[in-house]
Amino acid sequence: MLRLLLLHALLAAGLPARAQAPEAATAALAEAAGPGAPAQDGRREEARGPASPVVHGIPRQAGSPGPRYTEREAWEPERILSALRDAYPGRIDRVARRSGDWAIRVGGEWYCWANGRLLPESEREEWERYDPVPFYRYPRELPPLARLGGEEKEALEARLKQREEDPPLRHSGFFDALWRIRDRVSSWERVKTIYFLGIKTEIHRDLMEDLAAVEEEIQALLPGDPQLSRYVGSLRTLDGYNWRRIDGTSSLSFHAYGAALDVIPAYYGGKQVYWRWAMKASPEWYSLPYENRFMPPMSFVQAFERHGFVWGGKWLTFDTIHFEYRPEVLLLNGFLPAP
Ligand SMILES: [Zn+2]
- What is the DSSP track for 42-83? SPPPS-----SB---S---STT-----S-GGGGS-HHHHHHH
Q: Tell me how far the alpha carbon of residue 121 lies from the centroid of ligand 1, in angstroms.
A: 31
> Per residue in 148-206, pLDDT tens?
888 888 898 888 888 888 888 889 999 999 999 988 899 899 999 999 999 999 999 99
Residue 318: band (very low, low, confident or very high) from pLDDT cuts 50, 70, 90 = very high
Report the DSSP pairing between strands 309-311 and 92-98.
Answer: unpaired
DSSP 188-234: HHTEEEEEETTEEEEEEGGGHHHHHHHHHHHHHHGGG-HHHHHHHHH
Q: Tell me how far the alpha carbon of residue 262 lies from the centroid of ligand 1, in angstroms.
A: 5
Residue 29 has pLDDT above 70, yes or no: no
Contacts of 192-201 with C-beta under 8 Å, sequence gap 24+, read 196/238, 196/261, 197/232, 197/235, 199/235, 199/236, 199/237, 199/238, 200/238, 201/238, 201/239, 201/240, 201/241, 201/261
> Per residue in 207-253, pLDDT tens?
999 999 999 999 999 999 999 999 999 999 999 999 886 544 557 78
The DSSP code for 20 is: P
Element (H, E) at 97: strand 92-98
Q: Tell me how far the alpha carbon of residue 124 lies from the centroid of ligand 1, in angstroms.
A: 30
Q: Tell me how far the alpha carbon of residue 27 lies from the centroid of ligand 1, in angstroms.
A: 19
Question: What integer best gives the mean pLDDT of the chain?
Answer: 80
CA distance 49 to 272: 20
Which residue stretches of the chain are H helix? 2-14, 27-33, 77-87, 150-165, 173-179, 184-189, 208-221, 226-234, 275-281, 298-305, 327-332
Q: Tell me how far the alpha carbon of residue 282 lies from the centroid of ligand 1, in angstroms.
A: 22
Task: Report the pLDDT value the prediction gives residue 147, as an integer from 0 to 100.
Answer: 86
More confident residue, 160 or 322: 322
Closest CA to 261 of 317, 220, 214: 214
CB count within 10 Å of CB 326 equals 23
More confident residue, 246 or 60: 246
Task: Write down the pTM of the prediction.
Answer: 0.80
Say if CB 244 and CB 36 are below 8 A apart. no
> Per residue in 103-122, pLDDT tens?
999 999 999 999 999 999 99
> What is the phi/psi pair of residue 32, to 5°?
-70, -20
> What is the phi/psi pair of residue 309, to 5°?
-100, 135
Q: Tell me how far the alpha carbon of residue 239 lies from the centroid of ligand 1, in angstroms.
A: 7
The rounded Cα 305 to chain-centroid distance in angstroms is: 13
Task: Report the pLDDT value the prediction gives residue 250, as an integer from 0 to 100.
Answer: 56
Residue 31 has pLDDT above 90, yes or no: no
Secondary structure of residue 320 in the 3-state scheme: coil
Q: Tell me how far the alpha carbon of residue 261 lies from the centroid of ligand 1, in angstroms.
A: 6
Amino acid at 138: Y
Q: Tell me how far the alpha carbon of residue 113 lies from the centroid of ligand 1, in angstroms.
A: 27
CA distance 38 to 35: 9
Q: Tell me how far the alpha carbon of residue 75 lies from the centroid of ligand 1, in angstroms.
A: 27
